[in-house]
Chain A
Amino acid sequence: MEIIMSILAGILFMAGTYLVLSKNMIRIIIGTSIISHGAHVLLLTMAGLKTGAPPLLGLDASTYTDPLPQALILTAIVISFGVTSFFLVLGYRTYKETGTDNTERMRGTDSYD
């Protein structure tokens, strides 16, 4: 199971990298959120996907899954949610202000001398 999940994370990273390298601003933002998905999936996988009860003490199971990575992922998810929403608004404002969503046209006009 870990191998399948690792391959999935790899595919997510691949797709995210491809999107981040494109010119369109919204594709870049989607790419970053796919990369964060990949990172979260990897975090879950790396801690081990051994079978066990959900980490709730009321279940009285003999083994539980590792609760720590779940807490880490929860933290990472809200952080990336906040950053992504900021990033989307930033992209929108940049589009309004510069009149383009093509990153090729977002170069500076300042000369390099």
Chain B
Amino acid sequence: MTNLMIWPILIPLLTGVVLLLAPKRVLFQRALSLIAGVALIVLNIFILLSIHQDGILTLELGGWNPPFGIVLVGDMLAALLITTTSIVSLPILLFSIYTIGKEREQFYFYAFYQFLITGVIGAFLTGDLFNLFVFFEVMLISSYILIVHGGTKIQLRESFKYVLVNVISSAFFVVGVAYLYAVTGTLNIAHLSERINSLDSPAPILTVIAVLFLIVFGLKGALFPLYFWLPASYTAPPFAIAAIFGALLTKVGIYSIFRTYSMIFTHDIGFTHQLLSILAALTMVIGIIGAIAHQDVKKILVYNVIVAVGFVLFGVSTMTEAGFIGAIYYVLHDMVIKGALFLLIGAMVIVAGTSHLKEMGGLIKHHPRLGWMFFTATMALVGVPPLSGFVGKLMLIQGGIEAGQYGIIAVMMVTSLLILYSMIRIFLKGFYGQIKLLKADQYGSSKGLLLPCAFLITVSALMGLGAEALYPFAESAAKTLLNPEIYIDAVLKE
């Protein structure tokens, strides 16, 4: 059982490789991807429970002791994130089976979907900074291909910009790794944490490197002022692809900031974490301005992705246990609910035939289930108590109060209200109001589209109702992050 930690990476990787062999057999592709998705969920839940029982699990690849070899580390945060990743990726896969179209399916769509998940899960599990870079690239190269998959004009245009931004941020990542290696002489996260925290008077260069990593991960995670690429590139691809991007990709950037800013760069909290909290507040503001300004349902949702980045990073910047628990709850909730909302908006645009709010209306008459599911998802996004967004925001506010960041809490509360406004506008104008569709289109089919949405909303509701059961997991994840010694002891075994 010592090889347990490699399987969450191997299952999607091997599935992707097998899927490359028979691109034209669509039924085989669908079946194998679904089986792999279910297997991944079962495995990840098993890993989550065993980490809960036995503490941090590590796997030294090749039998080399860390810091000399690459080590995979499953602490509670990583386990929660890989479990949520697998739970979110299955319904999105189901949705893409219904919507993506045969032509795309025959051209390696499912294989790249699996490689994307490989990259995301690998990035969550790795214990080495350069290996994190490699998994970032696995994820990004798959995302380049998925974003342009199908080759329509708008996709080509937007993916050129997306690739350019990410190539430059990857070069920055290499530069950051180079500087950090020059200063510390190691790239293992636990070893880095140990070395930097043992310094009596850390050099200012470490703060510079911390900001450089903030730029790199902020570019991946759409932090203000590095969010500019996101709105256009997430609206270009089909909804199934936009959903997996919105649910997973920015979260990997957020996770990396979470990991580095809680374990490695804690020597000068006054500067780095203050900077992070200010940028988080500005991210919320800029995101919500975009969400209110647009009339296009896709754009409204995409700007809400940016707002969520601000919420989570504010929790990270507080450096309190409550703030960390809040950030963990919120990031898990956000992965689920953004997946659900992208799918619901996708179904809505498919039945309405347009993504512009002025051209749709009265959808609730013929699609009541879609309408009420959208309403529930909106309430969950805003954080109405029985649903999943509530606990995270509550803990974030508590963490903010403990850190004395009252101004940012005020920004957060106003932003939450405005999120409600931006989303309920879709509900009121799109689902209520005058029926604007032609008679023939009014019975446009939503067959099969609602099942994956319903699954994700159920997960969100369970996360809200079962917050008590989830709490010990989030608490132990936050404890590990606040006390890096637990992580260092588990990895270096000294």
Query: A residues engaging B (CB < 8 A)?
Result: 20, 25, 28, 32, 35-36, 38-40, 42-43, 45-48, 68-69, 72, 75-76, 79-80, 82-83, 86-87, 90-91, 93-94, 97-98, 103, 106, 108, 110, 112-113
Contacts and interface: CB of A to CB of B under 8 A. Distances in A.
Interface string B162-194: 011001101110110111011000000000000
Nearest to B179: A46
Given A46-B179, A46-B181, A47-B182, A76 B167 contact: no
Contacts of A86: 141, 144-145, 163
Nearest to B176: A39
B184 to A, nearest CB: 11
Contacts of A90: 144, 148, 156, 159-160, 163
A39 B295 contact: no
B369 interface: no
A83 B167 contact: yes
A42 B177 CA distance: 10
Given A20-B168, A39-B174, A93 B134 contact: no
Contacts of B181: 43, 46-47, 68-69, 72
Contacts of A43: 174-175, 177-178, 181
Given A86-B163, A87-B163, A94 B178 contact: no
B153 to A, nearest CB: 5
Contacts of A48: 182
A83 to B, nearest CB: 6
A24 to B, nearest CB: 12
B296 interface: yes
Nearest to B356: A113
A49 B97 CA distance: 54
B171 A72 contact: no
A63 B144 CA distance: 43
Contacts of B145: 86
Interface string B10-53: 00000000000000000000000000000000000000000000
25 contacts: A36-B171, A36-B174, A45-B178, A46-B178, A46-B179, A48-B182, A69-B178, A72-B177, A72-B181, A76-B133, A79-B137, A83-B163, A86-B141, A87-B167, A90-B148, A90-B160, A93-B148, A98-B153, A98-B156, A103-B160, A106-B157, A106-B161, A108-B158, A108-B232, A113-B295
A108 B164 contact: no
B130 interface: yes
Nearest to B183: A46
A82 B232 contact: no
B411 interface: no
Given A36-B167, A82-B141, 6 more contacts: A46-B179, A69-B181, A72-B130, A86-B141, A90-B144, A90-B156
B296 A75 contact: no
B174 A40 contact: yes
Contact of B164 (A20, A45, A79): A20
B171 A39 contact: yes
B174 A76 contact: yes
A32 B170 CA distance: 10
B178 A39 contact: yes
A97 B130 contact: no
Contacts of A108: 154, 157-158, 232
B154 to A, nearest CB: 7
B151 interface: yes
B294 interface: yes
B156 A93 contact: yes
A68 B167 CA distance: 23
Given A97-B156, A106-B157, A35 B168 contact: yes
Nearest to A96: B156
A112 B294 contact: yes
